[in-house]
Structure 1
C-alpha cells in the first residue's frame, strides 16, 4: 500500500492532512512489524540451513570413511569417493546460497528498517513537538485579554513564529513520508529479486554438477546389474557346494584329516586341540595339547615336524639370498603386541608431516589431507595413490599410514627433511617440457597409475644431470689443471667455469668419435676427507689434497658426496638420476654412501639410505662396515639404528677387531651397552629357537629409548665425545 501526503494540505494543516498523517503513520508501523518478522524468519532459515550443511558434511565424511575402509575393493572405494566429492560440492553451493540470502534479505531489509524508518520516526517526533507548540500558541492567543495591547502583540508574535516553524517542520515531515513510501517498494522488491536469483544460481549449479555425474551413474548402474547377475550365480554355486559338503560324512577321524588339509594355501594341518596348562617350573609357562584320538595325535605330530623342516629350509634359502643381495630390514623391533607405546603415532605424526611444504595435499594428484606416506621417497599420498605406489613394489616405494602405523623417531624426522615440494621439483622437473598434464584428484585411476609409473619407475620427468660439479670444501687443496686444460680455459675463468668447460669438451670429444668413459670409479672428485684420517689423532691429521679432473660426477659419486654433507634433497636427486645406493668409491678404500653418512654424523641420512635399499653390512677395503665406523666415531644413535636394521656385529676389520672390542677400547659405555645387549639377545633367540623374533620387552624398551634420545635429544648421547675432549 502506497499512501502519499499532499504538500498543499500540509501548509493548510487541514483535517484531511491530519487524517492522511494518521493513515501513513499506521501503515509505516505495520510495515516495520512485517519487515522485522521477515528478517527474523530469514535468520532462522539461514541457521537451519547451516545446521543442515553441517549434518550433510558429517554424512559425507562417513561416506569417505567407508570408502577408506573399502580400499581393497577399487569399485566401492572409487564410487564412494566420487559421490562424496559431489556431495561436498553441493554443500559448498548451499553455503554460497545462504551467504547471498543473508546479504539480500537480512542485511538489506535491516538497513532499510534501521535507517529509512528511523529517519521517519525522528521526523515524526519533531512534527509532534512543533504541533504541540502550535496548539499552545493558539490557546494562549485565544485566552489573552484584548484590552491588554502588549500581551496581545506578544501572543500574536509567538503564534506567527510558531506557525512558521510548524510549516517548515511539517513540510520536512511530509517529504520524509513521501520518500519512504516511494523507496520501500524498490527496497523490498530489490531484496526479493536478489533472493530469487541466488536460488536460480544454486539450482543451475546443482543441475550442471549432476549432469556431469549422470553418465558415471548410468555406467555404475550397468555395472550393478552385472554384479547382481554374478551374485546370483555365486549364490547358486555356494548352495550347490553347501549341499555337496553337507552330504559328506565327517564322523570318522579319516574324514577330519581330509578336511583339515589345505596344501594349496600352504596349510598342512588345521583344527582345534585341547590345552592343558601348567606352571611347574615357575618361570616358563608350559602347556600340553591333547587330541581327540591317537590317529589325530599322530597326524598333528607329523604336520608339526613337516612345518619345522620346511621352515628350516626356507631360513637357509633366505640366508643365501641375503649374502648375495643387500636388503636391510625396514621394520622396527616392536612386535604387534607391544604394551609401551613410545613411538609417535596417529594424529601427532600426521600433523608433523603435513606441516612440511607441500605435504598438505597428495604429492601425485593434489587431493587435500593425505593420510598415507612413502617413507623412502619422503612424500605424502592420498589413499588411492598409495594403493598405486604399493603396486610398484617396495624397491620403488614403501607405503605406510600416517594414522594407523607406529612411527620410529628417525623415520619421522626423515619425512620432515624432504616433503612433496622437494621431491616434485626433482621428479616433475620436465613435466611442462614434455607436455604431460598432471592428474587431478578426480581423475580416473588408470590415468593416475600411468602417471605415477612414468614419474617414479620410468623417471620420464626428471631433468637431465647438469654439466657441472660442486666446488671443493674450504680448507682443501686443489691441484692445478694440466697444460692442456690451461689452453682450453683462460686465466680469467673460475674453477667452476673450467669444470663446465671440461664437461662441454667431453661432449665435443664424444661427438668427434671419442667414446666417453662410463666407469663410475673414474668419473669422480676425490672426497674432502681421507678414509685413513678418520682414525688418526687430531694433531697427526694431514691435509688431504683434492684431485679435480673437472668431469661431470656420476650419480653414484653425487650420492656419496651428498651423504657426507647431510643433504637429503641432493641425495634424492642423485637416486632419481639412477645412482646405485651401494655405489663404491674405489679411490677411498671402497667406501659406500652409507659409510659417508656415518662420517657426516647424520642419523637421518643413514635412515634415508637404508630405506632406499642400502646394505648395512657392506665393508670397505679395511674390512670396516657402517657399524665399525659409527663405533669408532662414537655415534651412539647410528650404532642403535644399524643394530635394529640387522648389522653384523661379529664382523672384524683387517686388525681383527669387531665393533664391541673397539667400543671397549674407547671406553664408550653407551655403545658397549648396546652391542652387548644386542649380542645377548641374539644368543637367547638362537638358544630358544626364536628365529625372526625381535626379542624380549626389556631389549625393545632400551633400544626404543636410545632411538628416541638419538632423534629428539642427541645432546644426551654426546657424553663420550665431551669427556674425550675434556681429557685432551
Structure 2
C-alpha cells in the first residue's frame, strides 16, 4: 500500500505538506462524488425493474468513470475496465439482475461514503480548526514584546497548547488519509467481487461470457487477499507508529531542524521564519525559508516562485540581533542589503545562524577547487576563526597544519569512511574527515563534534599539537573497539550519505562500538594518599595554603576500549615528594577519575577513552581539594592536554577548595603558555582565591614578568573595549600580536618561557 502522507512531514507543516493535503482533499471529494453517483444508480436498478437495463448501462458507465479516476492504479483500472465490458455484454441479453447482488454493492459503497468519508470530513474539520488556532497563537507569540514578561509567558503558554493540539490533530488527519486510501481499494474491490460472483452464479445466460473471466477472477481474488492482509498489517503498523509518536511530548516549541549540506534534494535547511519587510511600515510576515544552491530563499506557498534573499552566501555574514524589540531575531547581511529574520525560539535562532555559517563554509569549500577564481581566496568571519596575518601567511600555516596532521597514523584517510586525503577535522575528537562526513559531524552539534577545515581555517599552534597527539587510529581503537563483535558494516567512500550518517551517529552519539566498562569502574572513587591527607591536616592546623604543586604520576593506566599498552604508555612524572598511595587501583577507576589521572599523565588516548565512556570533563576529586582534570593538566604543564579538555567543554574558571581556578594554578607554577591559553579562552583574571589574591597579584609576587605582561595587556584590552561601548572590537593588533607570539613560543619553543625575577610592583 502506498502511504499518501508521512507522519514526520505533518509535524513540519511545510507548504509541501499543505499542497499534499489539498491534493488529497480534492481526490476524496471527487471519490465521494463518484461513489455517491454509483450508489444512486444502483438504487435505481432495485427500484425500477422495468428500466433495469437502462439503469444498468448507466451503472456500467459509472464504473468506467471510476476507472478513469483510478487510472494511476493499474490493477484497479484494469479490473473496472474488464468487468464493465463484460457487464455490457450480459446486459444486452438480460433485463434483470438479481436484487441481492445489487444490494450488496449498494450497501458496501454506501457504507464507505457514509462512514469512512464522513469520518474523514470530521477529522479534517478538527485539523482546520487547530491549524487556525496555531496560526493565531504563532502571531500572538511573535508579537509579544520583550519587556512585558507576563504577555510573553501568556503567549508562550498559548502557543504550546495550540501547537500540541495542532500536531495531535495533524497526526490523526494524516492517519485518516492513509487509512481511507487503503480502505478505498479494499471496499471498492470487494464490491466488484461481490457483483461478479453474483453475476456468475445467477445469470445462466451470461455464463459463457463470464467463463472467459474465471482465470482473471482467480488472480484478482488472490491479489485482493494479499491486499487485505497487507493492508491490515500496514494499518496496524501505522497505528502503532501513530501511537508511539503521539506519546512524545507535543508541547515542545521547536520545529524539526536538520542541517544537511549534502542532501540529495539540494536543500540544506528549511523551516518557517518571520521576515521584516523593507518598506516604511516594517511589517512582519511568516514565510518558508530554504538554504539551497548556495542561496537563501523564501516562499509563501509551495507553488510560488522562491524569492532570493541572498544570491551568494559567500558574500554575506549572519549575526544575532539583540536591538530589536522582538525576540529570537538575527540578521543576514550582504553587500547589497540586510535582511532581519525572527525564529520561533532561541534554539531555532541558533540553529539557523549555525546553518547559514556552515553553508558559507561549505560554499567556500566547493569554490576551493578553482584556485584562479577571484572569489576563491575570499575569507569571511564564519569561515576563519581568527586572522593571524596576511592571507599568504594564513594559507601557508594552513598547508603546514594539513601536512603535519596528515602524518599522524591513520589520518591520511577519513576516520569514518576511509576516503583518502581528508581535509576537514574534528578538533575535540582529534580526527580527520572528508567533506561528506564533516557535514554529518557538523549536524551532530558542537557538543559531539567541532568541525574545522584544515585548508580554509587558520590553526592555532596548540590545536595543531592537540591533533598530533590523537589521530584516527587511536580514536578508532576506542570508538570501534567492538566492531568485530557487531554485524554492522563500516561505510566506504562510495557509500550513500544515509549509510554514513547512520554509522557516525551509532559510533559517536549512541557509542555502540566502544568497549563496555566493568561494573567496578562505575563506582570506585579515588582515595587520597596518606601523605596528601597528612599534608592537608598540617595545612588546616597551620592555616597556610602553599601553592599547588604538580601531582606525582603513575607508571601505568588501565587497559580500556581495546587500547594497546603502547596507547596507554608509561609516562612517569617525577617530583620532589613521592607519595605513598593508599588503596588506589587504577584499573577500577570510573571514567571521571580516569580522566583526572590521565590528564596529569598527558595520556591523550586514555583521556579520550574516559570521555567516550561518559566522563564528566569537569569531574571534581573531593579527596584532593576539589581539583579538576583541567587543573591536573595545568600541574603537568601540558598545553595540548588543557586545549583538549577545553575543546571538550571544560570550565576554564572552575575553582578548587582554595578558590583557585586553572589560571591561578598556571600563574603560581609559572606556566606562561597556559596563562596565554586560558586568557584566550575567557578565563577571569580578576577572580580571587581564598587569600583574596587575583592572578596579577600572584604573578607580581612570584616576579614573573611575562605572565604579568599578559595579564595586564588582557585587562587593558578589555577596558579599552568597554570604553568603545557596543562597537568595541575583539582586540587591537598589538594585543593580538602579543598573544599570538606567546602561543607560538609556548607550542614551539617552551624553553624560552622561563620564570625570571624582575623588579615588579603590585598594580
TM-score band (shorter)?
A: 0.3 to 0.5
> What is the TM-score with the length of structure 2 in the denominator?
0.45
Larger helix proportion, structure 1 or 2?
1
| Structure label with greater radius of gyration | 1
Q: Which gives a bigger RCO, structure 1 or 2 (Cα 8 Å, sep 6+)?
A: 1
